[in-house]
Amino acid sequence: MRRASRFRIVIVMATCGSFGFADEVGQEISPWMPGTMEIHQISTGRGNSGLYIFPDGTTLLVDAGEMIRKTERHTPDRPDGTRRAGEWITRYIRHALRHAPAPVLDYALLTHFHEDHIGEGTQDSPLASNDAYRLSGITEVGDKLPIGTLLDRGWPEYSFPTPQTAGFITNYRAFVTWKVANAGLKTEAFRPGRNDQVTLRRNAKAYPEFEFRNLGANGIIWTGTGTETRSCIPPLDTQPRGDWPDENLLSISFRIRYGAFTYFNGGDIRGVPYSGAPGWHDLETPIAKVAGPADAAILNHHGYLDSMNATFVSALQARVWVISVWDSAHPTGSVFQRLLSSRLYPGPRDVFATDLHEGARLVVGGIEKRLASAHGHIVIRVAPGGKEYRVLIVDDSSESHRITKISGPYASKGK
């Protein structure tokens, strides 16, 4: 009798402790389960890549970067340099989707056309077996895993503000053209304002409290009413050529809500214009008005010096901040100071970095002690219904998928 009641207590604790998952530090992360939403920021040391698993199992890959030309200023490759980033990302996805009979990416979304977000197919990168494109970042992941719908900011013309002709973009476009013609890939331009472009593909009726809202792209931003948008970039013919928007400024941004939980991703948008640049180069401020507040968010532009302005930080008031690091300036000291500032918003907050660079540790005083985690894949696991969530850090030095830290549970703030 006594033995039976003890057994029951242990089971109840393990079940309630992490929404039905029996996750423990030192153990392999448990597989996704229906009703749960997961956001995996994958640590490769070579750019951004995030795998999202929605409550019904619909999958979304946000970026698959691969910087090839690296220096001491950059973080080491993770787990190591024996494989390309696209291979590591694919292998990570296969493991994270091991609950599925065959892993599929229902959606892939590319926030903007930079190497650390889409890959850098060079002449040294291997050709795909169809000879149509070279394998690097998204072209490698998309070569190895089926993608349903691809969303980017340029389809089909890839001509704003000027024709996209850089070699790595030409390679990406060759991949898209081939997949559309030969593999049934659907490609769409990301439409700001809409909340029906990324939807639950498997069982939407079971999760009416889920919403994916397109906030911005190409300087066009949702107003917060219906699907209405406005342009935050003046007509280009009224602007000197040197002030035209750069690629970062044109990044896609979006917001995900699941019940009381809200998440934000803004690619590499800017909030701190460079000296002498026009005020409209601050896109964080108009986006913050329709994005915030959020429970969790990834830092814009990796927390570089032109990002995360005071208005944006105080509007989002995130409890959990995620930094995707590949450089010694991710984040800069001023950005880190704003993130932790109780003048900008009250209450505690935890900041997680994929792989802090030694240079940042030396320059940004005390950063390692003040980060909730400095190394590892960052997995936000939202409980069924969205009322609470945890952050699991997973070892990125090997493919053990071993948990090194569990933070939370955090209570979601509500709509």
Binding stretches for Zn ion (CB under 5 A): 116, 268
Q: What is the nearest approach in angstroms of Zn ion to the Cβ of residue 355?
A: 14
**φ and ψ of 93, to 5 deg:** -60, -45
State which amino acid sits at residue 251.
S
CA 57 centroid distance within chain: 18
DSSP string, 273-304: PPTT--GGG--HHHHHHHH-S-SEEEPGGGG-
Give the tokens for residue 215.
Answer: 């906030």
* Cα dist from 46 to 76, 108, 172, 367, whole Å: 8, 18, 17, 21
Cβ contacts of residue 272 below 8 Å, gap of 6+? Answer: 282, 305, 306, 307, 308, 309
Q: Which residue lies nearer to Zn ion by CB, 116 or 140?
A: 116
- Tell the smallest beta-carbon distance from residue 349 to Zn ion (Å): 22
**Residue 116 C-beta: closest distance to Zn ion, Å:** 4
Q: Is the CB of 38 or the CB of 116 nearer to Zn ion?
A: 116
CB-wise, 261 or 304, nearer to Zn ion? Answer: 304
Task: Provide, rounded to whole angstroms, the least separation between the CB of residue 360 and Zn ion.
Answer: 16
Given its phi and psi angles, is residue 302 left (phi above 0), alpha (psi -120 to 50 degrees) or beta?
left
Longest Cα–Cα distance in the chain: 82
**Whether 305 contacts 282, CB under 8 Å:** no
Q: Judge whether 283 and 252 are in contact, CB under 8 Å.
A: no
Q: Give CA–CA dist 401/395, Å, rounded.
A: 6
- Least distance to Zn ion, CB of residue 114, Å: 5
**Measured between alpha carbons, how far is 71 from 85 in angstroms, rounded to an integer?**
16
Q: Which is nearer to Zn ion, 257 or 301 (CB)?
A: 301
Q: How far is the CB of 148 from Zn ion (least distance, A)?
A: 25
Nearer to Zn ion, 38 or 268 (CB): 268
Q: Give the nearer residue to Zn ion in terms of CB position, either 117 or 255.
A: 117
Using alpha carbons, list the distances in angstroms from residue 180 to 128, 149, 159, 270: 15, 10, 19, 32
Question: Measured from the CB atom, is 84 or 390 closer to Zn ion?
Answer: 84
Distance CA 47, CA 340 (A): 24
Q: Which of 142/303 has CB closer to Zn ion?
A: 303
Tell me how far, at minimum, the Cβ of 150 lies from Zn ion, in Å: 19
CB of 117 to Zn ion, least distance (A): 6
